[in-house]
Amino acid sequence: MRAGLFHPVTGYSLPDAVRLAALIGNARDLSGAALHDLTYGHARRIWRQRGYYRMLSAMLFRAAEPAERYRILERFYRLDDGLVARFYAGQSSIFDRARVLAGKPPVPVKRALAAIRGSSR
């Protein structure tokens, strides 16, 4: 968990644990230094790749009123099943990402932008 190897929106960590185990299992050098470099580099790559999901999580939890969050999730689960599956896998295409954000904003735009910037409401 400290390495950030979990889906930023769903919190799922098992798929990342399996990928990391496979990465280590395929490593040729299992020395401490090599494992550090391998796992640290992997965690950094994953962190960079998941900025979009962290942004969505920030908007959900910082911009949406707690009592209204279910509306965002209801809208999301009405999207294409393939899009939802790719989202859960952390493999959303650029088109998927645009589709999730397209349409009537489920939260006020000003609050969404503040959430993305990390400021309070």
SS (H, E, C) the chain: CCCCCCCCCCCCCHHHHHHHHHHHHCCCCCCHHHHHHHHHHHHHHHHHHCHHHHHHHHHHHHHCCHHHHHHHHHHHHCCCHHHHHHHHCCCCCHHHHHHHHCCCCCCCHHHHHHHHHCCCC
For the cut 50, the answer to whether the pLDDT of residue 115 exceeds it is yes
15-24, 58-67, 86-95: least confidently modelled range: 58-67
**Per-residue pLDDT, 68:** 86
**Per-residue pLDDT, 120:** 44
Q: Is 13 helix (H, G, I), strand (E, B) or coil?
A: coil
pLDDT tens digits, one per residue of 94-103: 999 999 988 7
pTM: 0.82
For the cut 60, the answer to whether the pLDDT of residue 44 exceeds it is yes
Mean pLDDT of 59-83: 90
CA distances from 121 to 8, 52, 63, 113 (A): 21, 20, 7, 10
> How far is Cα of residue 58 from the mean position of the Cα atoms in its chain?
10
Mean pLDDT of 115-121: 66
Mean pLDDT of 65-71: 88
| pLDDT above 90 coverage of the chain, percent | 65
